Structure formats: structure tokens, C-alpha cells
Amino acid sequence: MTSPEIQAHCPDEVKYTVVENLVDEFKRDFGDRVIDINGARVVFDDGWGLVRASSNLPELVIIFEAK
């Protein structure tokens, strides 16, 4: 099951910094379960969650998938 894309407003000038900070925080909390290619993805045994910066809008895109 995949969630719909969630778009959260985030100004262009900070959206990439927000994602970098999330990557750092997720790595502290989840260690090697974090993939930092194209955002901050945390992989679990039965799914994953991703937060990434939109390339053309002032927003973060958030999506989840689970079995």
C-alpha cells in the first residue's frame, strides 16, 4: 500500500537544508536504515518513508509505502 503524495509547503531557500537536517536526524535514530539519495528515506522491514525536496515547487514531498 502506498500513501498519496503529501506536499508540505517549504520555501525554496530552505527546503534542501530541511531535508539535509532530516537525513542527519534520521541517521541518528535509524542508522543504516537511512538512504540519502534524492531525499531522506527510512527503510523498515515492512515498508519505507521518504521526504524529499520538490525540484520545481516550494515544497517537501512526503510518501510512505508498506506491505
What whole-number percentage of the chain has pLDDT above 70?
A: 100
CATH 2.102.10.10 fits 6-66, yes or no: no
Look at residue 28 in the predicted model and tell me its pLDDT: 98
Mean pLDDT of 2-12: 98
pLDDT digits (tens, 9 = 90+) for 45-67: 999 999 999 999 999 999 999 99
Q: Which residues contact 10 (CB under 8 A, 6 or more apart)?
A: 18, 53, 58, 59, 60
Residue ranges per structural domain of the chain: 6-66
Look at residue 11 in the predicted model and tell me its pLDDT: 99
Mean pLDDT of 30-46: 97
